[in-house]
Amino acid sequence: MTLTSPFLLAIVAITVLALIGQPIGLAMLVGSIFYLVLAGADLGTVAEQFLNGMYSNFVILAVPLFILAAELMNSGSLTERLLRFCNALVGRFRGGLAQVNVLQSVIFAGMSGSAIADAAGSGKMMQHMMTKDGRYPPSFAAALTAASAVIGPIIPPSIPMVLYALVSDASIGFLFLGGVVPGIMMGAAQSAIIATTARRRKFPVEPPVPLRQIPRITWDSLPALMMPVVLMVGIYGGVTTPTEAAAVAACYALVISVLLYRSISLRSLYASLLTSARTTASIGMLIAGALVFNYVVTIENIPDSIRVLLTDWNLNQIGFLIFVNVLLLVLGCVLEGTAILLVIVPVFIPTAQALGIDMVHFGVVVVVNTMLGLITPPYGMLLFIVGKTSGAPLRHIVRDTMPFLIAMLAVLVLITFVPDLVLWLPRLLGYQG
């Protein structure tokens, strides 16, 4: 590959466009078209790859439907009821509100599949509750909200896992199951950090909810708590595909909010649809750019070249996983997670398969990696989101995020080297990998 090769010039074009602030999806589209022009290829290929990728894959439809389900939950009162339920369970302990933040993320993970939806919805409410009357420093509340939101796309359902399934042909259902244990481990690790920090920094103890009120609060929250059950029974009972389950989730959230809780108006419904459409369009542009750029990568035979290079290094499974983990963690500091899943990860899939690495295990490791990138400086999209809502200086948020990030990195190491932590539950329900 020379300095004037079409592929290298296309990479330069993508990098320059991204650095000047253009959306990465648009940058990949422009760079790919630039490559095809320089290589003398048919420009109609761009449209062909876009149409084949976007309209021939039923899996992609799950993305906007899960986004809509999360928006409807935020517009209705489902999220608030879940917060009251979590507070009744763990709010009575020292640092209880911080523990509520983690628990609601674990529960809300079963609803939206999106870290950003968690941080922008229930996470925003948690920040307000934690900082009210100066109970917690704004930087700690923001850091915890960002860190706990990372759990969302690891416990099913998960939009990043849907995208990984798109590029790897792995089973979405078993990927969802593979994320349960790692997600719970991450929640437990964050709770342990909170318990230690709460004693050292003397965080407040919230007034305990009387035990006689817990049954009523639980009953009030039960319809919202049943959503993950409805999703999992539908998928693993063979009643629905994951995409159909996403449609059921959106419909369930709408019906519960309108008919049972009567907490959503036509105005808020329209706002939810509009926000979902904008988010979907943004992700759709990224998917379109990635599909076309992946075609360029295939033409250049990059996956095979990398496979040969890694073979020359004589890497075994462990060495390869260490290499991928380190690379993705570094890339996560500067790239958006969806771009990594759609552009970088497909390059490594042939090598992983050749080394006999299970695609479900590899997928969960990759998704955890990309989610950690959301709270890793300097890019850390979630850090910017919670920083905007909290008003705390970014450096203080980064400082308070570090203990949580280190704890989650420890979980990543465990699931990388002990695949059974990921594969135990899928195998229990019939996975043959």
pLDDT (tens digit per residue) in 381-401: 777 777 776 778 888 888 999
Classify residue 17: in a domain, yes or no.
Answer: no
DSSP secondary structure, 205-274, as one string: BPPPPPGGGHHHHHHHHHHHHHHHHHHHHHHHTTSS-HHHHHHHHHHHHHHIIIIIS----HHHHHHHHH
Question: Concatenated DSSP letters for 274-292?
Answer: HHHHHHHHHHHHHHHHHHH
Domain that holds residue 193: 42-428
Helix (H) or strand (E) holding 298: helix 266-299
Task: For residue 433, tell me if it sits in a domain.
Answer: no
- The number of distinct structural domains making up the chain is 1
| Separation of alpha carbons 12 and 221, rounded Å | 52
Token digits of residue 375: 């709270």
For 97-149, how does the pLDDT look when each residue is reduced to its tens digit (9 = 90+)? 788 778 777 776 655 556 666 665 566 667 777 777 667 888 888 888 888 88
How far, in Å, CA of 91 to CA of 48, rounded?
54
Residue 388 domain-assigned (yes or no): yes
Percentage with pLDDT > 70 across the chain? 87
Residue 376 in domain: yes
Question: Which pLDDT belongs to residue 316?
Answer: 84
CA angle (159 as vertex; 355, 62 as ends), nearest 5: 110
DSSP state of 340: I
User: Does 218 fall in a domain?
Assistant: yes
Q: What's the average model confidence in pLDDT over 364-383?
A: 84
Instruction: Give CA–CA dist 73/64, Å, rounded.
Output: 14
For residue 390, give the 3-state DSSP assignment: helix
Whether residue 231 is contained in a domain is answered as yes
205 bridge partner residues: 94
Collapsing DSSP to helix, strand or coil, 20 comes out as coil
Residue 94 three-state SS: strand
pLDDT of residue 1: 53
**Range among 131-145, 189-203, 272-286 with highest mean pLDDT value:** 189-203
Residue 189: pLDDT over 90 = yes
Alpha carbon 101 to chain centroid, angstroms: 17
User: Which pLDDT score is estimated for 122?
Assistant: 61
The pLDDT tens digits for 152-184 are 788 877 778 888 988 888 888 889 889 999 999
Verdict on whether the full-model pTM lies above 0.85: no
pLDDT at 403: 92
The DSSP code for 132 is G
pLDDT greater at residue 238 or residue 272: 272
In a domain? residue 280: yes
Residue entry with tokens 């990372």:
150
Q: How far apart are CA 103 and CA 112, in angstroms?
A: 15
- Asked whether residue 37 is domain-assigned, the answer is no
